[in-house]
Structure 1
Amino acid sequence: MAKASYHFKRAALTTAAMLCVILGAAGIFLPVLPTTPFLILATILSFNASPRLRNKLLKHPVFGSAIRRYLRERAITRKTLKTALITLWLSICVSILITQQLALTALLLTVALLVSIYLLKLKRIG
């Protein structure tokens, strides 16, 4: 029974990691969807579940260094921070204008504020 549970957990984590990779890839083309955070999450999810996927992400020519830097130092470049905050708040504002619901607006602003605080607490380099 434990072996089946392990295989299910591994499959679920690998599936979640692949979903994050797909969302991260979509973020390259969609300005309101962030790329790097999804790839970092995919790396974390795949850490034990899929070493092959993890290694591909860590060695990626474009995103690998940002992922490694975040995992090793919890650091972000100033350019990445600026881009993340601008994209975050623009997408939140657009979402608020589209929905125009008070409860959803409060939720979106709360999430954006918490994400902003988290990003601003990261060590900055460059």
Structure 2
Amino acid sequence: MTLRHEAFLEQVKERGEYNSLPEAERAARVVLALLGAHLVGEVRARLAARLPEDFALILLNPLQSAEPLTAERFVRATAAWIEGATHQTAAWDVSAVLSTVADAAEDDLLKQILLQLPAGYDLLFGRPQPT
């Protein structure tokens, strides 16, 4: 089931405690563009199918990444793309967006997403995995 654009942004806004939907949208666009660079094939396509169309397109046409970023470097890259962001605010942005993405993906798809990512992303998605 695909989330509507407004519903997706409202969830991100609430979780990120943003003052406005444009703030939530900016965070969502950056985080999904970075995430898209780390996912491939059917997993990326299945996740895109669960997102609002404009966010699905961002996920499917990602920023290029030369190598998979660790969870820590993913947060730093987010900070670099969001004007005025600090490491702390970027961690908040990533968590707000990825926990909303985790809700949009069912558990089976989320497991497959986490298999494509370096260790530590489970925490960014707000879904700590047993070690």
What TM-score do the two structures reach when normalised by structure 2?
0.28
Larger Rg: 1
Pick 1 or 2: higher relative contact order, CA cutoff 8 A, min separation 6: 2
Higher strand fraction: Structure 1 or Structure 2? 1
